[in-house]
């Protein structure tokens, strides 16, 4: 009777595991719904950003031309102009101010006094140009020409959109948050009847203070009820989020039919099962749960990674098309952004495709004669602008100048993943170093940084697929968790390895590749 009793218990465990699987799929369905709504809001914000870019694209900074802009634009609450040295031109420093202008100066006084908020003074820019010309282009190539500033005042969020002109002036507008909120609400549905099975839930748009701004759906949750799933919006609404709340009985109804079917099946075959086979089913069920959860996390991470660069590419491409008759310097800046984001998107796609080939056992390398140092320099040059923007100084000490038999694409992908981790996780250290050398028939490359490092407890897991020190999309460091996995696999296919080396501070990775010298 003991094995049979154990089988009964295992049958109930199978049912519980099935419930967990349904919960994962149910949450995935809800996240998909929230993602669709988030995309709708993102498209609205992109449209408003394009309109604000046109409004701030002016070259007349007198009171008579600026004040009518505020009166004629519903979304503009106030406009301001700073000269190339950070001094306020508008609202005027002398003469009578309107009540709206006086209120704007009061709540933005500290922000406008911060000379580094939008740009550095022109004399510092010229010094920066001289000091950085030998490394990676001009100062303008490293800084965005427009953006958002968000701050809290009077128990609410406030938005400023600014744009830098070719003359160095900053033109910005305070966005009317009530008008913006009205536009956002206008894009949201009144009820949630589109997707079967979700009509009894409720979706809420929540602000930074956890207060509901707008909601729709048949369900009325209690004040303290926690959402089943939530997703944060993109900038400049990154402090807001969408939440989905559903009654507990709704999920119980979804489970009931599946639970009864599985229970009847398990009990009906109870006498035919062997104890070992039952343990096998339990183990396989748990493995499927973990795999399903990782698949959901992986797809969400990749979708989140691909959305931002694609949005930037589209926005800057449209701005480029609208401003084709302007000065070459601005067009050059737009093209630099497009190129940088395209490179980042290409690296992400390459990682996903490489991982797919690895899972299907179709990954191969094609070594041909190359000079390793040239490959390394090309990869560093791709990352230098973004590292400079984060304040990270990267140095390269090359010692692999001989032509060897090596797969240049594999080495490029390995280094791109390592430098991408430096960019995302180790920028606080402000220093990174790449060292190369050849010993016999092996090429050895070290990538060191001065960041926070990796805890000892996590060093054995970082090379496993989907393993990240943090798996949250909203934690500020984006990634899919497969970069180091791919880099180690490529290194081993090349007859070498990728290892984490002990160091006093930061992180140190060692790449070893088997690279015979090219025969003359």
DSSP string for 218-266: S----TTPPPSEEEEPPTTSTT-EEEEE--HHHHHHHHHHHHHHHHHHH
Question: How far out from the chain centre does Cα 259 lie?
Answer: 38
Do the Cβ atoms of 164 and 251 come closer than 8 Å? Answer: no
Residue 117 included in any domain = no
Question: pLDDT tens digit string along 56-66?
Answer: 888 888 888 88
Residue 360 included in any domain = no
Burial of 190 (C-beta count, 10 Å sphere; 0-12/13-18/19+)? exposed
pLDDT bin (cut points 50, 70, 90) of residue 513 is very high
Q: Tell me the whole-structure pTM to 2 decimals.
A: 0.45
How high is the pLDDT of residue 208? 83
- The C-alpha atoms of residue 206 and residue 157 are separated, in whole angstroms, by 12
Rounded to 10 degrees, the C-alpha dihedral 505/507/513/515 comes to: -50
437: enclosing H helix or E strand: strand 431-439
CATH, residue 418: 3.30.565.10
Cβ-based neighbours of 23, under 8 Å, separated by 6 or more? 251
How high is the pLDDT of residue 508? 93
Question: pLDDT tens digit string along 390-413?
Answer: 899 999 999 999 999 998 888 988
Residue 120 included in any domain = no
pLDDT bin (cut points 50, 70, 90) of residue 364 is confident
Higher pLDDT, 52 or 286: 52
Q: How many folded domains does the chain comprise? A: 1
- The C-alpha atoms of residue 323 and residue 332 are separated, in whole angstroms, by 11
First CA to last CA distance, the chain: 77
Residue 238 included in any domain = no
pLDDT bin (cut points 50, 70, 90) of residue 150 is confident
Tell me the two tokens of residue 336. 């630099």
Residue 13 included in any domain = no
Residue 374 included in any domain = yes
Residue 286 included in any domain = no
* Beta bridge pairs of residue 163: 146, 171
How high is the pLDDT of residue 416? 87
Which of 263-267, 438-442, 455-459 is the most confident on average? Answer: 438-442
Residue 510's domain comprises: 368-514
Residue 252 included in any domain = no
């Amino acid at each position: 009777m003991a094995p049979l009793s154990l089988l009964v218990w295992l049958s109930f465990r199978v049912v519980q595991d099935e419930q967990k699987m349904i919960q994962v799929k149910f949450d995935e369905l809800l996240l998909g719904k929230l993602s669709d709504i988030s995309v709708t809001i993102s498209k609205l914000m992109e449209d408003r950003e394009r309109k604000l870019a046109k409004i701030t694209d002016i070259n007349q900074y007198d009171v008579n031309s600026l004040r009518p802009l505020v009166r004629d634009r519903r979304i503009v609450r106030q406009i301001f102009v700073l000269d190339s040295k950070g001094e306020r031109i508008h609202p005027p420093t002398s003469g009578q101010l309107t009540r709206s202008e006086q209120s704007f100066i009061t709540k933005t006084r500290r922000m406008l006094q911060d000379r580094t908020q939008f740009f550095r003074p022109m004399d510092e820019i010229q010094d920066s140009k001289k000091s950085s010309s030998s490394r990676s282009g001009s100062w303008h190539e490293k800084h965005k020409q427009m953006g958002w500033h968000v701050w809290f005042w009077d128990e609410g969020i406030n938005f400023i959109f600014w744009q830098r002109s070719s003359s160095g002036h900053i033109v910005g507008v305070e966005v009317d948050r009530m008008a913006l909120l009205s536009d956002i609400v206008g894009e949201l549905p009144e009820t949630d009847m589109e997707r079967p099975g979700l009509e009894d839930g409720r979706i809420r748009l929540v602000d930074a203070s956890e207060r509901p701004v707008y909601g729709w759906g048949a369900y009325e949750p209690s004040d303290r009820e926690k959402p089943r799933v939530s997703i944060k919006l993109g900038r400049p609404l990154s402090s807001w989020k969408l939440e989905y709340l559903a009654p507990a009985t709704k999920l119980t109804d979804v489970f009931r039919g599946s639970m009864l079917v599985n229970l009847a099946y398990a009990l009906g075959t109870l006498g035919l099962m062997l104890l070992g086979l039952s343990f096998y089913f339990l183990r396989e069920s748990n493995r499927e749960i973990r795999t399903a959860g990782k698949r959901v996390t992986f797809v969400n991470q990749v979708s989140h990674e691909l959305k931002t660069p694609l949005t930037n590419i589209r926005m800057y491409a449209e701005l480029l098309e609208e401003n084709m008759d302007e000065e070459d310097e601005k067009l050059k800046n737009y093209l630099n952004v497009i190129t940088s984001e395209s490179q980042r998107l290409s690296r992400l796609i390459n990682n996903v495709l490489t991982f797919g080939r690895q899972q299907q056992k179709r990954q191969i390398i094609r070594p041909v004669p190359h000079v390793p140092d040239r490959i390394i320099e090309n990869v560093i040059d791709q990352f230098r602008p973004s590292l400079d923007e984060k304040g990270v100084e990267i140095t390269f000490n090359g010692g692999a100048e001989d032509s060897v038999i090596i797969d240049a694409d594999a080495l490029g992908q390995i280094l791109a993943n390592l430098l991408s981790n430096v960019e995302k996780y180790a920028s606080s250290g402000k220093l990174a170093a790449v060292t190369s050398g050849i010993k016999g028939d092996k090429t050895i490359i070290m990538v060191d940084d001065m960041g926070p490092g990796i805890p000892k407890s996590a060093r054995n897991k970082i090379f496993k697929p989907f393993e990240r020190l943090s798996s949250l999309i909203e934690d500020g460091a984006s990634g899919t968790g497969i970069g180091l996995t791919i880099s180690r696999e490529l290194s081993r296919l090349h007859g070498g390895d990728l290892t984490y080396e002990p160091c006093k501070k930061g992180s140190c990775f060692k790449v070893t590749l088997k690279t015979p010298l090219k025969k003359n």
